[in-house]
Structure 1
Amino acid sequence: MQRPGKGKTPRRPGQKKASNIEKDPVGVYCRIRPLGAEDEECCVEMISSSTIQLHAPDGLKANRNGEYKETQYSFKKVFGINTTQMELFEDVAKPLVDDLIHCKNGLLFTYGVTGSGKTFTMTGSPGEGGLLPRSLDMLFNSISPFQAKRFVFKPDDKNGMEIQGQVDALLERQKRDSQQSVPKTPSSRQKADPEFADMISSEEACKSENVDEDCCYSVFVSYIEVYNNYIYDLLEDAPFDPIRPKWLGGGTPVWNNEFIPPQSKILREDQNHNMYVAGCTEVEVKSTEEAFEVFWKGQKKRRIANTQLNRESSRSHSVFTVKLAQAPLDADGDHILQDKSQVNVSQLCLVDLAGSERTSRTRAEGSRLREAGNINQSLMTLRTCMEVLRENQMCGTNKMVPYRDSKVTHLFKNYFDGEGKVRMIVCVNPKADDYDETMLVMRFAEMTQEVEVARPVDRPICGLAAGRRHRNQAFRDELSRRLEEQGGPSNADDPVLLNQLIESLPALPSSELVDPADAQTLPRLIEVLERRHRIRQMMAEQFNKTASSLKSMLQQFDSQLNAKETFLHDQRSKLDERDKVIINQRMELERLEKKSKTLEYKVDILQKTTDMYEQDKRSLQHELETREQRLQRELSERRRMEQRMQGMVTDTKLKWEKECERRVNAKQLEMQNKLWVKDEKLKQLKAIVTESSNGGSSGPIERPEKPDRPSRERDRNIAQKRSASPSPLPTAPPVHPTHRRSHSAGGEKWVDHKPSSNLDLDTVMQPMIPNAIKVSTPNEKALSKCHKYVLRHQELASDGEIETKLIKGNVFKTRGGGQAVQFTDIETLKQECPTALSRKRRSGSAEGPAQMEDIENRAPVASTSTSHGYQKRRKP
């Protein structure tokens, strides 16, 4: 809708859309035409009122290796072959005409393959009027009582409307009537063009019920065609031959044996960013018949040709535009309000697109081939624009829509970027030869349904009270009635009654005196003048009475008007208060909407954060389960190792016990042998001493025989007797657990880092370091005062004992002014049980059983491989 001065500016492609704009998808309807012959193969089947199914023809199945594919397409509504023109109009075009009357734009176009019934659907035939004549008939049936006089509305050549005064409009009408350029309005439908005379029957006539009676309306029509991507005005007054011309190869007509190139038009953009054809002829029409005549005048100039697919194929896209200009009446309801900003212009575009076709089927050559190429190119541009619009709306992208690539899409740019209703009728020919083209048309139509257009909003025309025309008419009727009651003229403004009053006066007799003795002429003249004077006095008295009665009526009307104005003032104050409340509620609603959006945004962020945390939780849980499984495996491996080691220790212990028992027995036997040898030597010595004391008696000394080797049982008894009273052996002094001086003791200053988790065992594993700063956590202050660093680390060794590691390093300064530690040595302190070490040493010694038992009963002492009682391992 165009509103000069106060029109809503449609959104440009680069502008950001308002978030509260409501949108409606493009309404796509499908109409199936009947087959040309009964024996033709049909490839389209109507499944429901909104779904059709395409069957691949038999020849196509054979070419595709017998594949049988059935594709279904859904639309807003599907019209079968038995659908009448009236039913199609009721569902598709009637809502658009209602919107046109209520200042809303509309676009309706037919699309399909050549020969699918697009022109029949839009124009119709005698007895079966199409959408265009029915839309015009409904429009004029609705606004006929409220039409303004001709030339009150005047196009300003900038896609807007101006309002002329009554005098200017009258002069314009007289000028046009003198030129005889304006067609006379037929008094009945029989005077219209015979080809359109019987298109719509009186039974099928319809009208809109919700027409604003306080407005005046005027209808302007224009008719253009887009041929070879050029725009031509079909209503332009040019020296055209009334017979349809023949077109040459370059698209140039022959008029009166002379080459007259058609003058193409250009597209412009008005102040409200709506596209229009500059210099296009707009004809003001006052009736359906007159509009039919204008349409038929342009239809005769439209380019059609005979092709292989259609006997009268449209070679151009035609656009029939109906503009409805309306302006409110003034406060008295008598004249149109002379305010250009209150003029509203809405338009309905009825487009009959040329059919898409394949040149291989039409066998087009020359100009026909060029026309087909331009038609297919413009339709391809329309498909591209719909695809880009759909992608921008569904994916949130901001791609440029190529409207300028074709005149058709450029002309209707403001419908898709602005506001209004867009509806498309897809015409389908169900014959099998059109299967491939029909499938492409179905895909495009189904995709177009997903494109959305901003919904037009209702806007009040002005702030005047409603019912002004009705009150003015009631006032005129009441005035006429009272004048009739008082005997005066019922309508003083009527020039016919005024002439009758003047004619009622007696005619003046002839006042010529030819005879001085004439005594009749002057008395007769005096009598007539007196009668005329009396009649004039009576008329003056009647006029005064009528004026006084009219004055009293006006005073009554003024008092009533004042009372109504007071009432209206009160109502307006109440409305203002309600408006304030509504504004406050809207502000509160907007605030709550913003708050809701903010909360939704926060909820989205929290949801994303929760998802991230859940994912991290699952990954950590999975890792924990993996580690637990690994730990369980390690524990089971450790238990198996402990059992293995326990078995090995048991076996080793038994083996060593047997070996010890064997060695003890061998040692006992050896000791017994030594004792026997000593006894023998003592006996011999005793014998020698006895002989010497007896006086040197000589005689052979008898050597005692070697006694038999005692048995093992006797040797064991002897050993037990000897071990019963063993000689006391010196025991080793106990080792006291005292602190030791660490190898780290020197002249340097140390940072002694002892974590709080370490155990204070008070043994040699806790060395004392002089000149050390003890810390539980490392810090820059302590490192800056020292040159060395030591970290105490405790862990369990393989034998289950605690070992302490002293990790040492040098402290040096960095370039940034801080301190760093370079580790250079690791010292390990470990405690061992001396019992195990003594057993190892006993394995190779040759001591008696008593000595071994004494060693085993000693108290354990700390034993290490160094003199300080700890083991030391260094690592670089």
Structure 2
Amino acid sequence: TQYSFKKVFCIKTSQMELFQDVAKPLVDDLIHSKNGLLFTYGVTGSGKTFTMTGSPGQGGLLPRSLDMIFNSVGPYQAKRFVLKTDDKNGMEVQNQVDALLERQKRENQPSVVPKTPSRQRLDPEFADMINPEEACRADGVDEDSSYSVFVSYIEIYNNYIYDLLEDAPYDPIKPKWNGGGTPQRQPNQEFIPPQSKLLREDQNHNMYVAGCTEVEVKSTEEAFEVFWRGQKKRRIANTQLNRESSRSHSVFIIKLAQAPLDADGDNILQDKNQVSVSQLCLVDLAGSERTSRTRAEGSRLREAGNINQSLMTLRTCIEVLRENQMCGTNKMVPYRDSKVTHLFKNYFDGEGKVRMVVCVNPKADDYEETMLVMRFAEMTQEVEVARPVDRPICGLAAGRRQKNQAFKDELSRRLEERGGPVNTESTQSVMHQLLQNLPPLPASEITDPHDDVTLPRLIEVLEKRHKIRQMMTQEYNRAADMLKSMLQELDSSLVSKENLIQGQRGQLGEKDKTLHSQKTEIDRLEKKSKMLEYKVNTMK
């Protein structure tokens, strides 16, 4: 039997080559405010997880996608909590002060991600997966916007959705656990079943997992840390349920929020309607396997049946889409029959690009399952559904960030020429040195009426501290006066430039009037010439 596909990768294909062809276009669309969905599909043991995750030095599609995102938008990221998710699949915008207060509030609270993640702190299996020379970035990144990256990690097991980043409590009374995320177990205590999450529809008719943990990450290392935590919980699930391989669908969601800068190019525009949100879903499907061949019984039989049922629903949805597309029919697509298809309903309706990587193992025992996988995968590539995505228009001039940075550089240069502090960091360092020179207060308790040493010593220390305080005040006033004079000079230079521009505009206006009058005269002469030619022809 022969099957035809858009691209076939041989056994010697590197992870980098696969990423360039399959996932890089999806990441590029994500950065340009378009959604994407990527499946890995195949028989159990065919290499789906290795394709998605990879190994040290051979990072798969997921780590390379994260690395490309942060290489592209890293210099333009907003500060933490300036953009934050709400509970309804939307995005909120906070000003700098509120974001700073929330950062200080959460510093002392336990979080999903450590405060200072690094590759050395990661599990060796997930550290250093990408060589620096293989790093890539997207072209055409909007520099007049700020970006924030949010990640979430869920698994769909027995048609229930579990949050792998959620810290679930434990209960020693209930002995069972059905595969969700849990914290570390205390001695002689069992896990309780984690709460299954519900699917909801937001105001834009997009499906999302209600109550799912979304973590804001600022680097590839931080995102790796989140993924590693989720993977660890999936391994715990496999160990608890004595599973040789993962029998659940895992979904790693990368959400990118893009907010335009204000007219000054310094802060984010405080309008949540201008925030553009796009997401990339990386799905590692459970292995396709016939229940008759597994010889499973009881809960294992039900588990395999649920996996095959969800994969069958995915196949049915794509077949109905294909029939609607090729025959012009309008059959209802059974999205709600499975959590996998229901979650990605918007993608099948055209809300982004969908790609599937089919993993094949040439094992003789998997022959019949492989044939079904190949037949289904060949049929899916005939389905093409897409619709345009409307981005919000802020209506501000381009190049705002560069102009603001040029203004700051010019101000720092002039301050440096006049001998002042180059920036606020140098001023803070001077103040820090003065504070370090403050003498400590001596013991001021007087127990002896004839003590003539304590009080003079205290007066001397207070006088020194008062002098240092005066020096700090003078330093602040000097820096403020210098900054004020520089701003006045820049303001006057801007005014003179504006006057010059106005004069040039006036001259251009006069030239336009002259050109208009000359054009009118040319038209009059052309009409007169035509009239004379007509008279000449008449006389001839």
TM-score between the two structures when normalised by the length of structure 1: 0.51
CA drift at 1:494: 4.8
Q: Which residue of 1 aligns with 2:493?
A: 556
Q: Which residue of 2 aligns with 1:496?
A: 428
Q: Tell me whether 1:238 sits opposite 2:175 in the alignment.
A: no
Q: Secondary structure of 1:470's partner?
A: helix
Q: Which residue of 1 aligns with 2:91?
A: 161
Residues 198-207 or 369-378, more deviating: 198-207
CA drift at 1:240: 6.0
Aligned counterpart for 1:192 among listed residues 122, 137, 141: 122
Q: Secondary structure of 1:387's partner?
A: helix
For structure 2, which runs of at least 5 residues remain unmatched after alignment? 443-450, 453-458, 506-540
Q: Which residue of 2 aligns with 1:372?
A: 304
The total of aligned residue pairs comes to: 481
Q: Secondary structure of 1:238's partner?
A: coil
Q: Secondary structure of 1:262's partner?
A: coil
CA drift at 1:447: 1.1
Distance 1:501 1:82 in 2: 60
* Mapping of residues 463-862 of structure 1, within 5 Å: 463-492=395-424, 494-499=426-431, 544=481, 546-558=483-495, 560=497
Q: Secondary structure of 1:77's partner?
A: coil
Q: Which residue of 2 aligns with 1:292?
A: 224
Q: Tell me whether 1:226 sits opposite 2:174 in the alignment.
A: no
Q: Which residue of 1 aligns with 2:65?
A: 135
Deviations 1:813-868 (A, max 9, x none): xxxxxxxxxxxxxxxxxxxxxxxxxxxxxxxxxxxxxxxxxxxxxxxxxxxxxxxx
Q: Which residue of 2 aligns with 1:768?
A: none
Q: Which residue of 2 aligns with 1:425?
A: 357
CA drift at 1:360: 2.6
Structure 2 residue identity aligned to 1:169: A
Distance 1:252 1:459 in 2: 36
Q: Tell me whether 1:437 sits opposite 2:374 in the alignment.
A: no
Is the 1:113–1:428 Cα contact (8 Å) retained in structure 2?
yes
Is the 2:180–2:234 Cα contact (8 Å) retained in structure 1?
no
Q: 1:420 to 1:531 in 2, by over 3 A?
A: closer
Distance 1:435 1:227 in 2: 26
Q: 1:561 to 1:229 in 2, by over 3 A?
A: farther
Q: 1:293 to 1:435 in 2, by over 3 A?
A: same
Identity of aligned residues (%): 75
Q: Which residue of 1 aligns with 2:137?
A: 207
Distance 2:364 2:279 in 1: 39
Q: Which residue of 2 aligns with 1:774?
A: none
Distance 1:275 1:79 in 2: 33
Distance 1:564 1:444 in 2: 66
Distance 2:395 2:222 in 1: 34
Q: 1:564 to 1:201 in 2, by over 3 A?
A: farther
CA drift at 1:467: 1.6
Q: Which residue of 1 aligns with 2:328?
A: 396
Distance 1:282 1:374 in 2: 27
Q: 1:206 to 1:361 in 2, by over 3 A?
A: same
Deviations 1:411-440 (A, max 9, x none): 000011132110001111112222211111
Deviations 1:5-46 (A, max 9, x none): xxxxxxxxxxxxxxxxxxxxxxxxxxxxxxxxxxxxxxxxxx
For structure 1, which runs of at least 5 residues remain unmatched after alignment? 1-70, 516-521, 569-876
CA drift at 1:180: 3.5
Distance 1:213 1:494 in 2: 27
Is the 1:126–1:197 Cα contact (8 Å) retained in structure 2?
yes
Q: 1:238 to 1:264 in 2, by over 3 A?
A: same
Structure 1 residue identity aligned to 2:484: A
Is the 2:162–2:194 Cα contact (8 Å) retained in structure 1?
yes
Q: Tell me whether 1:89 sits opposite 2:13 in the alignment.
A: no
Is the 1:113–1:429 Cα contact (8 Å) retained in structure 2?
yes
CA drift at 1:259: 5.7
Distance 1:226 1:566 in 2: 68
CA drift at 1:500: 6.2
CA drift at 1:477: 1.3
TM-score between the two structures when normalised by the length of structure 2: 0.80
Q: Which residue of 1 aligns with 2:513?
A: none
Distance 1:352 1:231 in 2: 14
Residues 527-536 or 157-166, more deviating: 527-536
Q: Secondary structure of 2:3's partner?
A: strand
Q: Which residue of 2 aligns with 1:416?
A: 348
CA drift at 1:554: 2.0
Structure 2 residue identity aligned to 1:453: V
Distance 1:231 1:527 in 2: 66
Q: Which residue of 1 aligns with 2:253?
A: 321
Q: Which residue of 2 aligns with 1:701?
A: none
Distance 2:432 2:48 in 1: 59
Q: Which residue of 2 aligns with 1:172?
A: 102
Deviations 1:165-209 (A, max 9, x none): 212111111111112325335464223332211211212222223
Q: Secondary structure of 1:327's partner?
A: strand
Is the 1:422–1:453 Cα contact (8 Å) retained in structure 2?
no
* Mapping of residues 336-347 of structure 1, within 5 Å: 336-347=268-279
Structure 1 residue identity aligned to 2:402: H
Q: Which residue of 2 aligns with 1:16?
A: none
CA drift at 1:526: 11
Structure 2 residue identity aligned to 1:121: T
Is the 1:215–1:328 Cα contact (8 Å) retained in structure 2?
yes
Aligned counterpart for 1:147 among listed residues 71, 77, 90: 77
Structure of larger gyration radius: 1
Distance 1:154 1:565 in 2: 44
Deviations 1:424-459 (A, max 9, x none): 011111122222111111111111111112144473
Structure 2 residue identity aligned to 1:238: A
Distance 1:566 1:339 in 2: 37
Q: Which residue of 1 aligns with 2:380?
A: 448
Q: Secondary structure of 1:463's partner?
A: coil
CA drift at 1:498: 4.9
Distance 1:325 1:253 in 2: 26
Distance 2:470 2:83 in 1: 47
Q: Secondary structure of 1:489's partner?
A: coil
